[in-house]
Amino acid sequence: MPDQKTVSLTIDGVVVTVPDGTLLVEAAKRIQRDIPVYCYHEKLGPAGLCRICLVEIEKMSKLQIACNTLVTEGMVVRTLSDRALDGRRAVLEFLLANHPLDCPICDKGGECDLQDYAVAYGSGSSRLVEPKGRKPKAIDLGPTIVLDDERCIVCQRCSRFDDLITREQSLVVKERGERDVIATATDAPYVSNFSGNVTELCPVGALTSKTYRFKSRPWDLQRTATTCTQCSVGCALNVDVRHEAILRTMSDPEDPVSDGWLCDRGRYNIAYLDDERRLTSPLLRDGENWTQIGWDDAITLWAKVLRTHPPSAHGVIGGGRLLNEEAYLLSFVFRALGTRNIDWRTGRQFETTAGSFEGTLADLERAQLILVLGVPPSQTAPILDLRIRKAVGRFGARLISVGPLAAGSFVPQTRVRSVTEIPPAAFDVRRIAVVYDGISRDLLAEANAMLRPLQAHGTQIFGFVAGEQANARGAEVLGLLPRDGGLDTRGIFSAAVGGGVISTLACFGADPLLRHPDRILVERALQSFDFTVVSELFLTPTAQRAHLVLPARSAFEKTGSTTNLAGTLREVRAATAAPVGTLSDGEMLVALAAALGIEIPSDPEISRRVREMIGVPLRGGEELSFSGRAPTPREGFELVVAEHPFAGGGTSLHDARVSILRPHPQVGIAPASAQAAGVADGDIVDLTSGDRFLRDLRVRVDEDVAEGLVVVTAGLPQAPANALPATGRVLLKNIRSVREVVASGGVR
Amino acid sequence: MVLEKVLTAGIGEVDLCDIAVYRSRGGYVQWRRAVTELTPAAVVVAALKSGLRGRGGAGFPTGRKWEFLPEDGRPRYLVCNCDEAEPGTFKDHELLEMTPHQVLEGMLIGAYAIRSHHAFIYIRGEFKRGYEIFMRALEEARELGFVGQRLFGTDYSLEVTVHRGAGAYICGEETALLNSLEGKRGEPRLKPPFPAVRGLYGQPTVVNNVETLGYLPHILERGAEWFASVGTPKSTGYKVLSVSGHVQRPGNYEIPLGLPMRTIIDEIAGGLRPGRKFMAVQPGGGSSACLFEEHLDLGYDYESLAAAGTMLGSGAMVVFDDTTDFVKAAHSLVRFFAHESCGQCTPCREGGHWLEMTLERILHGEGLASDIDMLLALSAQMTGINLCPLGDSIEPFLASVLKRFEPQFRAYLRKPQVAFAR
């Protein structure tokens, strides 16, 4: 690579050398010179709107804005000359003229750029005699955001974010001149998977999160840097705590994984920690009732059950909520006991690598062709989806979504049902990324067949699995996989039903009743086990059918690490104290090992082994056995199961503040198919397949759904999609209009 | 005084909207000649030699503007700016309605000069009649093969698209115009990049005023030397001037540049009403500073007006006699600019509105003695730091009349309350 050309310039008497093409505002940062900005943002680029960054440049008659001035050789810049400071003071006087100055009741107070710069560069008083302009306040912009137009300085960071970064283009400036306001283009609610980012971008207190309004002062918050464990991306997360309560979470602008953004699930789904339904004591089933018992009794009972059954009779399911160290311990303890029936694969996702293809999120950004196979990351890993939008929208990559579901990425896409339908010319690029759901193995096989030869000829192929479980990859690497002849999840449940080979089940951070593709099988198995122990935060559908429920701790309440979808180890740190009466899964396993007399490695040793194992490349395309499929009947519609960032029976279900973001049970159907089936948008229907059924779904006629399909969302406890056969065909039955439903006294 | 008419020749005498009439006077001959005989470079050279400067307001040399387009193989666009809205200006309005074919021929030649295959005209929304007339003219020209594919048997093709604005002053600013033309909010763009590099739909683009383009057929017909011989060395050729205000014959007049302003006001526009005294003239549209009695012998050209601290601008001359209330005049103009501010950049959005409110308060008898200095200070501090020229347009008129006629402003101020009267 040739040496990049540099230029030298003088800023306030200091010579600084920077690459050619650097903006003056960035060059000044090199010498720790603070040039104030409002509309400029590193990731949004210059806009030239606020005019606060005025500087004096020799040989130029007017003051110049540092945000849109490229450095040139020999440029002499004065950021603190009298003229520059006069310009700043003038802009601040104008900005504050109609600003309400309600800092004492503003959430931004203490971390507000307007406040800070007014103190640093403002004049301290205003010459305005007239009353300040009045604009709407406390506008309900959408389910997550409140807008105060009086505080707004119209820097357009929010609308530019919604245009340049998310590509959704719903936020705009309306009206003109001093009357202008931020709004959505259609006045519809501002709904986005990424809405919370605008509150961080807003340099003043105009955009605030509903979850954080009037909660705290920034100087009263204690910050912990950790990793978000809501999905497999593993974004860096700054957790702000006051009085042991998590009040808000913030992004890390420097994080290479998240690119400095957060999705709303990661940002807002925190109130479950304090939900009153949180489990705080081990619960023992007593017929139809629960009895609270102590931890000693619970562990003793569990150890006794494990000892009184042969090792081959135990089934262990460890879900994606486990940290790396906990997954390692779970595998270690049960393997020490002699059990081999261990699997992390609770739901539909059955693998964590896309064949032999690997990559980082930075690689994804550089890809020229992106294939999304199956369930798109917009439904499972929003921040990865945002990288796709960047690759397509900013760098011109081509996006092809393969399978029945659209990518939902707000950038141009080509839709095909099979990799073989893709025109061969599309593959004539140097870098290709495959984003796979870990479910649609046929699509991956097609992609493999197409891409392996290209890879052999020098095309770079990057692979990502944006699956439904957060730490699936860590769980798989650290041993929660039946590689040595043990039974997988379906095998465990089938063995329990058919003759009782498996008689105990331990579920850690997993909810197979809601997530496993075959709900009927899980239901029957849960009735068959002699003893089921479930470690959970809440009484999830699976926990409700357990014999012993152990109250667990969330990832905000324990320390360790997690593995993201790119195979990177990410640190998790406790940000707040857990409720009294809970233990982390790791602590439970340590206690269990002690009760069983199993010697476990020390904490530092576990940590060392985890780091070593995560660092080893994965199995590289080896065929993974997974007994998932059911035969397909012919009549009716093909069932497609989609995901949703806020689906699930755990943390989002038990968070009152994000309940408005949860999806409603509905069935998506193409207009022509709807007509053929005799249903209209808004009707209520049941889906049936043989003797299996899913009741009371609202019909959503959706042009994005292909003909002959119906789409339902996985992971909704009130309408669990896994009650239907995973890949079968379904009929629409019992069609009712909303009026009929209301007249008959509501849904059942 | 008899002046030679160029752009305005025939207006009021014959129906120039009729393509047969326009052709009988030599119309479209230069267009055919350009395509069949001249290279684009030759047209650019003609424009350069003629010294033609942009007639929309900025006065930038037209040929040099064309030369800024990068030679990188991307498609190029010519956009004719017919969003005339500068206070006091009404020349493009008349040219569009009275000489639509001349406007079109100018656009075609300009587009050919920059090797564009698609020209656009952005017509102010209120010019409905002009729009309809231009559309008819375009259809006639298309039928005769002057617009479209493979013109005059050559490989050169040129399409013309007509776009109507919606009446926002800011859309006359060329980058706001381009945004509006693309269907976006009419806000000026941050420069650089300039339209020559990234203009309409991101492609190299030239935006020229109606009058500027209108002179092109004449420059080709009569030669660049002819145009350059008229006017002053730096302000060559003719200019259509919109004269209004307190004169006896307001209207559009085509003059050779450099004519003394006294001649324009007294002889061409009929002078002031009997018994009235001249107070001020705003020489170049609402954005320009006023000139006074002592300036009237200055020539009306770019450099003389600039030297006097004002500008020729769009060529709109507004004359004020001694019946003028300059507080009301200032308020009216400030209110216009504040109302038309797009609001995206801070000084213009906040400063304009602030000045408007202050002037309104003064008009209502609530002015404070400190307001005089504050008006000057505020208008000065909002000038020179804006994203586009709109925010810099308030200060010139306000400051020039406030300094000259300060007693008029003081007369409006709140009278001191006399304590313990009687």
Provide mean pLDDT across the span A644-649: 88
- In 10 A of CB A415, how many CB atoms? 17
Q: What is the dihedral of CA A37, A43, A46, A51, to 10 degrees?
A: -20
How far apart, in whole angstroms, are the C-alpha atoms of residue B141 and residue A637?
58
Rounded to a whole number, what is the distance in Å from the CA of B131 to chain A's nearest CA?
26
- Beta carbons of A68 and B341 less than 8 Å apart: no
In the predicted structure, residue A222 carries a pLDDT above the cut 80: yes
Distance of residue B183 Cα from the nearest chain A Cα, in angstroms: 14
Arithmetic mean of pLDDT over chain A: 93
Query: What pLDDT, on the 0 to 100 scale, is given for residue A110?
Result: 95
Mean pLDDT for the stretch of residues A325-341: 96
Chain B residues close to A133, C-beta within 8 Å? 353
Nearest to B129 by CA among B175, B81, B93: B93
Show Cβ contacts of residue A13 under 8 Å, excluding neighbours closer than 6 positions. Answer: none
Query: Are the beta carbons of B209 and B103 closer than 8 angstroms?
Result: no
pLDDT of residue A636: 86
CB-based contact A569:A563 (threshold 8 Å): yes
Containing H/E element for B361? helix B352-363
Q: Is the pLDDT of residue A480 over 90?
A: yes
Residue B291's contacts (CB-CB under 8 Å, 6 or more residues apart) are: B261, B280, B281, B282, B283, B298, B305, B308, B310
Per-residue model confidence (pLDDT) at position A630: 42
Nearest to B345 among A48, A98, A128 (CB): A48
- Please provide residue B293's backbone torsions phi and psi, each rounded to the nearest 5 degrees: -45, -45
State the pLDDT at residue B108: 98
Helix H or strand E encompassing A475: helix A472-477
Q: Report residue A633's pLDDT band, with 50, 70 and 90 as the boundaries.
A: very low
Provide, as residue numbers in chain B, all residues whose Cβ is less than 8 Å from the Cβ of A49.
Answer: 344-346, 387
Bridge pairing between strands A460-465 and A431-436:
parallel
What is the Cα Rg of chain A in Å?
A: 28
* A263 or A629, greater pLDDT: A263
Helix axes A324-337, A585-596, angle to 10 degrees: 20
- The predicted-structure confidence for A62-100, as pLDDT tens digits, reads as follows 999 999 999 999 999 999 999 999 999 999 999 999 999
Whole-number pLDDT of residue A629:
44
- Which residue in the block uniquely carries the two structure tokens 């579920």? A507
Q: Rg of chain B's alpha carbons, rounded to an integer?
A: 23
d(CA B281, CA B319): 4
* Residue A48: closest CA among B193, B290, B368, B294: B193
Residues of B whose CB is below 8 A from A117: none
CB contact under 8 A, B343 and A127: no
Integer CA distances (angstroms), B114 to B100, B146, B155, B158, in order? 22, 17, 16, 12
B188 touches chain A (CB under 8 A): no
Report the percentage of chain A scoring pLDDT > 70.
Answer: 97
Indicate yes or no: CB of B387 within 8 angstroms of CB of A86.
Answer: no
Nearest C-alpha in A relative to B185: A173
**Does pLDDT of A621 surpass 50?**
no
Token pair 């943390």: residue? A651
Cα separations (Å) of B215 from A63, A325, B53, B119? Answer: 36, 80, 10, 17
pLDDT of residue A625: 52
* Residue bearing tokens 């809440």: A538
Give the pLDDT score at A1: 45
Q: Which phi and psi (to 5°) does residue A319 adopt? A: -90, -175
Tens of pLDDT, residue by residue over A669-678, are 999 999 988 9
Which has more pLDDT, A316 or A707? A316
Binary contact (A133, B353; C-beta < 8 A) = yes
CB contact under 8 A, B349 and A62: no
Minimum Cα–Cα distance from A176: chain B residue: B342
A95 touches chain B (CB under 8 A): yes
Question: What's the average model confidence in pLDDT over A27-41?
Answer: 95
Strand partners, A637: A730
DSSP one-letter string for A671-708: HHHHHHHT--TT-EEEEEETTEEEEEEEEEE-TTSPTT
- Which of B189, B198, B346 should we substitute to test contact with A (largest number of A Cβ atoms within 10 Å)? B346
| The predicted structure's pLDDT at residue A619 | 46
- Taking every pair of Cα atoms in chain B, the longest distance, rounded to a whole number of angstroms, is 93
CB of B340 within 8 Å of a chain A CB? The answer is: yes
Q: Please tell me if residue A298 touches chain B, with a CB cutoff of 8 Å.
A: no
Q: Amino acid identity of A66?
A: A
Q: CB distance B341–A49 less than 8 Å? A: no
- Residue B316 and residue B84: Cα distance in Å, rounded? 11
* Residue A575 confidence (pLDDT) above 90: yes
Q: What average pLDDT does this structure show over A492-501?
A: 88
Nearest to A435 by CA among A345, A359, A350: A359
Please say if the pLDDT value at position A628 is more than 50: no
What residues form DSSP beta bridges with B122? Answer: B81, B163
Amino acid at A417: R
Interface test with B, best of A25, A94, A98, A134 (most B CBs within 10 A): A94
A49 touches chain B (CB under 8 A): yes
Mutate to test the interface with A, among B185, B191, B345, B374 (most CBs of A within 10 A): B345
Q: What is the pLDDT of residue A729?
A: 86
Dihedral sign computed on CA atoms, order A726, A731, A732, A733: negative
State the pLDDT at residue A500.
Answer: 76
Contact B342 A176 (CB under 8 A): yes
What pLDDT shows up at residue A126? 87
Asked if the model's pLDDT at residue A482 lies above 80, the reply is yes
Residue A499 has pLDDT above 80, yes or no: no
Report the C-alpha gap between B412 and B373 in whole angstroms.
Answer: 15
Q: Is the pLDDT of residue A737 over 70?
A: yes
Contacts of A326 (CB under 8 A, 6+ apart): A318, A508, A560, A584, A585, A586, A589
Query: pTM, whole model, 2 decimals?
Result: 0.93
Q: Has the ipTM of the complex gone over 0.85?
A: yes
**Looking at beta carbons, which residues of chain B come within 8 Å of A90?**
347, 381-382, 385
Q: In which band, very low, low, confident or very high, does the pLDDT at A124 lie, cut at 50, 70 and 90?
A: confident
Cα dihedral sign, A428-A429-A433-A435? negative
pLDDT the model gives residue A620: 40
Cis peptide before B192 (omega within 30 of 0): yes
Q: What is the pLDDT along chain B (422 residues), one digit of tens a residue?
A: 788 999 999 999 999 999 999 999 999 999 999 999 999 999 999 999 999 999 999 999 999 999 999 999 999 999 999 999 999 999 999 999 999 999 999 999 999 999 999 999 999 999 999 999 999 999 999 999 999 999 999 999 999 999 999 989 999 999 999 999 999 999 999 999 999 999 999 999 999 999 999 999 999 999 999 999 999 999 999 999 999 999 999 999 999 999 999 999 999 999 999 999 999 999 999 999 999 999 999 999 999 999 999 999 999 999 999 999 999 999 999 999 999 999 999 999 999 999 999 999 999 999 999 999 999 999 999 999 999 999 999 999 999 999 999 999 999 998 876 666 55
pLDDT at A623 over 50: no
Mean pLDDT confidence for A402-408: 93
Q: Quick check: B184 contacting A, CB < 8 Å?
A: no
Which of A176, A180, A182, A394 is most worth mutating to test chain B (most B CB atoms within 10 A of its CB)?
A176
Q: Is the peptide bond before B193 cis (omega within 30 degrees of 0)?
A: yes
Q: What is the pLDDT of residue A285?
A: 95
Residues 65 to 84 of A: which have CB under 8 A from any B CB? 68
Rounded-to-integer distance, Cα A718 and Cα A694, Å: 10
Supply the DSSP symbol for A422. S
> What are the angstrom distances between the C-alpha of B270 and each of B244, B247, B274?
11, 6, 11
Cα dihedral A352→A355→A360→A361 (10° resolution): -80
A86 vs B: CB within 8 A? yes
